[in-house]
Amino acid sequence: EVQLVESGGGLVQPGRSMKLSCAASGFTFSNYGMAWVRQAPTKGLEWVATISYDGSSTYYRDSVKGRFTISRDNAKSTLYLQMNSLRSEDTATYYCTREARGYYFDYWGQGVMVTVSS
């Protein structure tokens, strides 16, 4: 059974940093691209970043480019999102997702809440 379990969220002050982790199991992690998708309270879904199966390619939405870094450790089957210079508009539930072969998201984690506030 595919499982994606996020951790590392919480309350953080504006301008500070936070690192999210996503532990994957139930599939060969190194064969799949992975992504982070977020959802602000009562809002729609917003793609944040994608990393290729081997980590060689990464993609970001403009609003997080230069502040967020997506990475992975295939030996540990873990996906990361390093978030720096956090802003109030980054407040959201962050979902770890697996990219299916066609680059849609076939599995989602349960989500982790990140609140940016002073």
DSSP SS3 for 14: coil
| Positions that interact with other proteins (CB under 8 A) | 35, 44-47, 50, 59, 61-62, 95, 100, 102-111
Give 17 or 57: the residue with its C-beta nearer to other proteins.
Answer: 57
In angstroms, what is the minimal distance from the CB of 97 to other proteins?
Answer: 9
Question: Which one-letter amino acid corresponds to residue 99?
Answer: E
Token readout for 45 is 């879904």
Q: How far is CA 94 from the centre of its chain?
A: 6
Residue number, 13 or 42, with CB nearest to other proteins: 42
Return d(Cα 106, Cα 63) in angstroms, integer: 25
Nearer to other proteins, 19 or 61 (CB): 61
